[in-house]
Structure 1
Amino acid sequence: MSQNDPAVAPETSIAHDPREDGWKRRVALLLAGQAFSLLGSSIVQYALWWWIVLESRTGASMLFATLFGVVPQAIVSMFGGPMADRYNRKILIMLPDLIIAAVTVFLSVSFALGWANLAVIFAVLFIRSAGGGIQMPAVQSFIPDVTPTGKLLRVNSIYGVINSANMIVAPAIAAVLINMVPLWSILLVDVTTAVIGVGFVALIRVPAKRQMETTTDDGRTKAASDAAGESLPDGPLPLAVLKRTFADVKNGFTYAMGRPFLKGVILGDAFTCFMSVAPMNLTLLLMTREYEGIDLNLGFVNLTTASDKLAANELGLSIGMLLGGALMSAFGSKLLRGARTQMLMVSFGIAMVGVTVIGLGIASNLLAYLVIDVLNGVASAMCVSPMRTIMQSESDESMTGRVFGLDNTFATFGMPLGMLIFAPLADVISIAWVFIAGGLLTLPVAWYVLYLTRRGVSART
């Protein structure tokens, strides 16, 4: 049963929440640790991708880099979610960082000795991506363990600001380093930040959990902590663990799809990535086809080359997400009280993402395009923070990891699947119409989230 469910007994709702004590210190340690870990990982990710581009200059190598860097995380997240529900979430946050640091040291040594090649890099990208599939659900489900329910939206918004700031800072640092020092030394940046991040998380003292109840399929209740103590199915140990993991994945899917609010944010996130985020990855084509030879003097910088315009595009989106996250952090917790208003914000945010993607396709000039690009980033941030908060506050403590694992898998697969449709389409019709089509198809997604919101509210009354 959700902590926000009105059916919770009055005495439970007024009981002292151990998470209220010292929560700011715990959250600060967690966010600082994630900021360091994310920064180092992103710097190294950019450096590796750029090295692959500069050394191979082939589309096939970039395709494999994308597959090894994205697909493992999407697949592993399905199983990382149940792991976050059954095992120590704090350990699941720290352990992948340490493993990734170890394989990054190995890659650094291989570059220093001169025997690194694409096969070694792809293997490391695979391990790094798989580690993210375990770590991401653990981080998202660990936040409500150390944060009072009423502060979740604010904390998630700050986490979004950190992610957006990283999108601005990491490529800039990577660009400077790759021109100054050899790649093997850049790789050690991730090792250093990973150790610092793990150190911050290790200092967190998780508050004792109150007895929480969850509802089984037959309507009975049991303590959430019982889930971790469930016996394994019969058979050899590896097979038994595998059976239970797949059962956990199935139960998590049934659980999430049976609750309108959770279903709304998970499917809303996935379909938005499919309809809108996929076309956004075609901005390279849009810039080269629609704005080739068109300069823009902003006063402090003159955009003349294709690389200038692409950098401005990425920067505009990141600044928009940074502004949106800051706004949600400052005002979201005050204005969006309760799951219903947060769901309405998710629906509105998705609609605005669709509208701004349409705007990118019909922009009359480059300046208008960049302004709309910033607004698209603001709209994206307005979606993400309430989505995370809904998944944390509306899930049983024993199911939070599975919910986030499911969302991460669906959303991660949504973008490449969308690219399979929109990328070939861009060679058949005008690239502007691809953006318009993606934006228009996103609007029904917002309506669907609104529909599920009304269903969820009706079910509670």
Structure 2
Amino acid sequence: MSHTLESTMPEAPVTSEASVTPETGEEDTSWIRRIALLLTGQAFSLLGSNIVQYALWWWIVMQEKSGWSMLLATLFGVVPQGVVSIFGGSMADRYNRKKLIMFPDLIIAGVTVVLSVSFAMGWANLTLLFVVLFIRSAGGGIQVPALQAFIPEVTPSGKLLRVNSIYSIINSANMIAAPALAAVLINIAPLWSILLIDVTTAIIGVGFVALIRVPKNDKAPIATDTDTADVSSVPEASGIDKTTVTQHTGPVSQVMAGVRRTFADLKDGFVYTMKHPYLRGVIFGDALTFIMSVAPMNLTLLLMTREYEGIDLNLGFVNLTTASDKLAANELGWSIGMLVGGAMMSSLGARMLRSTRVQMRVASLSVALVGLTILGLGIAPNLLVYLIIDVASGIATATCVGPMRTIIQTESDEKMVGRVFGLDTTMTTFGLPIGMLVFAPLADIIPISWVFVAGGLLTLPGAWYMFSLTRKYAGTTLQQ
């Protein structure tokens, strides 16, 4: 088996701690400016998107007060990203990733302006809101794989874990700030004006990304004229100019060729991922975690209202009495844990987790901890213990996200990284509604605490599978 892996995997490149300028032999620090621009732009973009996302969901809850409306909002807000990610991963490997990050933001900003105007004029309705949620989600299906594939394009491989961890910290900080800001704004400003915040931050984010000067290297995807038509059947020895063939191909044929090429890319990406044990482990482990653990986490609303109704908790600096107080504490506790875990990975993890095998082990142990903390939420004896476990769950989530992203970025060939991320995004995006379809009905049949216990226990096999791969392939030469 070891021999098979070595023969099917590309030769592992040398992983350096920092890039070096060939002309002078000195360390090239220009990547710091590129990453600073990228992460700053994403921080603005994420903040605006999250504020608007909370505002829209709360508007649906307050206006409709219907479980069906929330289910439809989830489907329109999640499923399109999963579907589009199938194609987004292929696009990230073929086309300019920088543009694929920028264009969805601009399109989303445009439809958000339309929604803002409709609210201001009194035309807004639930159907229009679902359409906007659909477009926003679909844009994420293009943007997320492109962003994840773009990071290793502008970052030295030795710095990837640190950069991914910093990105995780930015996400965590956004999850703390966004609901708080949305709660304040929705009480003092009309919804149409809150929507314009996302438009403003999107433009700022696009501006920062536009300033990035991408280094010329072999990591960047190259789109050629032959990408616009199916010329694979033209023999190399025929003497026929394939570019000429492309120019004389009709628009319908070009579209069909593009569809065939996309599905061929999907097949290649899936086959490539399944042949690589660590990539396969990350993809399956991530998907199982979303189905078994992340889905129950979306039921904390029911858990808090059923298990802790009428139970107050005085933390000294704040007294949790109402349902909204407890839900806010639940959200903040998990986000604070994510912030702490991201900081740990950015500082200690970046120095200690240098090999892919060690990163895989940490990711698998963190997935196990995620499962155990989900189980703990279900059996917590009181609200204080619940919130402590909630913080631990956030830490566990952050300590598996950073290594997982880094493994995909470093173990994937540069020409396949977008497709692997697209596959991961698709499986995790669909994992959430699949888990909800299973656990949400169960919560109305059995005690909701049992749902959390079941979800936590069912996460553990995925963690064991990931860990077992590091033992099975110890000493085997894999793609770095």
Normalised by the size of structure 1, how large is the TM-score? 0.92
Shift of 1:16: 4.3
> Could you tell me which of 404, 408, 411 is aligned with 2:421?
404
Shift of 1:350: 0.5
Give distance in 1, aligned partners of 2:219 and 2:160: 20
SS of structure 2 residue aligned to 1:205: coil
* Equivalences, count: 448
Q: Does 1:209 align with 2:209?
A: no
Q: Does 1:233 align with 2:230?
A: yes
SS of structure 1 residue aligned to 2:476: helix
In the TM superposition, 1:271-350 aligns within 5 A as 271-350=288-367
Give distance in 2, aligned partners of 1:408 and 1:17: 34
Q: Does 1:50 align with 2:47?
A: no
The residue type equivalent to 1:26 in the other structure is R
Q: Which residue of 2 aligns with 1:86?
A: 94
Deviation digits for residues 25-80 of structure 1, max 9, x if unmatched?
A: 10000000000011111111111111111122222222211111111001101100
- My pick for the range that moved more, 300-309 or 19-28, is 19-28
Deviation digits for residues 252-285 of structure 1, max 9, x if unmatched?
A: 1111111011111111100011111111111112
Q: Does 1:27 align with 2:44?
A: no
> Could you tell me which of 62, 85, 97 is aligned with 2:70?
62
CA 1:227–1:160: 2 relative to 1, 3 Å: farther
Shift of 1:456: 3.6
Give distance in 2, aligned partners of 1:282 and 1:9: 44
SS of structure 2 residue aligned to 1:300: coil
Long gaps (5+) in structure 2: 232-251
Shift of 1:453: 2.4
Shift of 1:15: 8.9
8 Å CA contact retained: 1:104, 1:188:
yes
> Could you tell me which of 163, 175, 178 is aligned with 1:167?
175
Give distance in 2, aligned partners of 1:361 and 1:57: 26
Q: Does 1:129 align with 2:133?
A: no
Give distance in 1, aligned partners of 2:28 and 2:455: 43
Give distance in 1, aligned partners of 2:123 and 2:42: 32
SS of structure 1 residue aligned to 2:188: coil
Q: Which residue of 2 aligns with 1:427?
A: 444
8 Å CA contact retained: 2:148, 2:418:
yes
8 Å CA contact retained: 1:87, 1:228:
no
Fraction of identical pairs, as percent: 67
Give distance in 1, aligned partners of 2:343 and 2:128: 40
Give distance in 2, aligned partners of 1:336 and 1:146: 21
Q: Which residue of 2 aligns with 1:215?
A: none
Give distance in 2, aligned partners of 1:75 and 1:348: 30
Shift of 1:12: 11
Long gaps (5+) in structure 1: 213-223
CA 1:123–1:364: 2 relative to 1, 3 Å: same
8 Å CA contact retained: 2:342, 2:399:
yes
Q: Does 1:158 align with 2:166?
A: yes
8 Å CA contact retained: 2:229, 2:253:
no
Q: Which residue of 1 aligns with 2:397?
A: 380
CA 1:44–1:9: 2 relative to 1, 3 Å: closer
Give distance in 2, aligned partners of 1:13 and 1:336: 12
SS of structure 2 residue aligned to 1:448: helix
Q: Does 1:442 align with 2:459?
A: yes
Shift of 1:14: 11
SS of structure 2 residue aligned to 1:460: coil
CA 1:408–1:106: 2 relative to 1, 3 Å: same
Shift of 1:305: 1.6
8 Å CA contact retained: 1:320, 1:377:
yes
Give distance in 2, aligned partners of 1:145 and 1:199: 19
CA 1:227–1:283: 2 relative to 1, 3 Å: farther
8 Å CA contact retained: 2:17, 2:156:
no
Give distance in 2, aligned partners of 1:12 and 1:36: 31
Q: Which residue of 1 aligns with 2:286?
A: 269
Give distance in 2, aligned partners of 1:174 and 1:153: 31
Shift of 1:242: 0.7
The residue type equivalent to 1:398 in the other structure is K
The residue type equivalent to 1:364 in the other structure is P
The residue type equivalent to 1:188 in the other structure is L
8 Å CA contact retained: 1:259, 1:456:
no
Give distance in 1, aligned partners of 2:400 and 2:16: 30
Q: Does 1:100 align with 2:108?
A: yes
8 Å CA contact retained: 1:20, 1:147:
no
Normalised by the size of structure 2, how large is the TM-score? 0.89
Shift of 1:183: 1.0
SS of structure 1 residue aligned to 2:123: coil
Give distance in 1, aligned partners of 2:31 and 2:379: 46
Give distance in 1, aligned partners of 2:176 and 2:15: 47
Shift of 1:318: 0.5
Shift of 1:312: 0.8
Shift of 1:457: 3.1
Give distance in 2, aligned partners of 1:11 and 1:172: 41
Shift of 1:211: 7.7
The residue type equivalent to 1:72 in the other structure is P
Shift of 1:311: 1.1
Q: Which residue of 1 aligns with 2:125?
A: 117
CA 1:351–1:313: 2 relative to 1, 3 Å: same
Shift of 1:428: 2.1
Give distance in 2, aligned partners of 1:130 and 1:9: 35
Give distance in 1, aligned partners of 2:259 and 2:291: 30
Q: Which residue of 2 aligns with 1:363?
A: 380
Give distance in 1, aligned partners of 2:219 and 2:203: 34
Shift of 1:361: 1.3
Q: Which residue of 1 aligns with 2:197?
A: 189
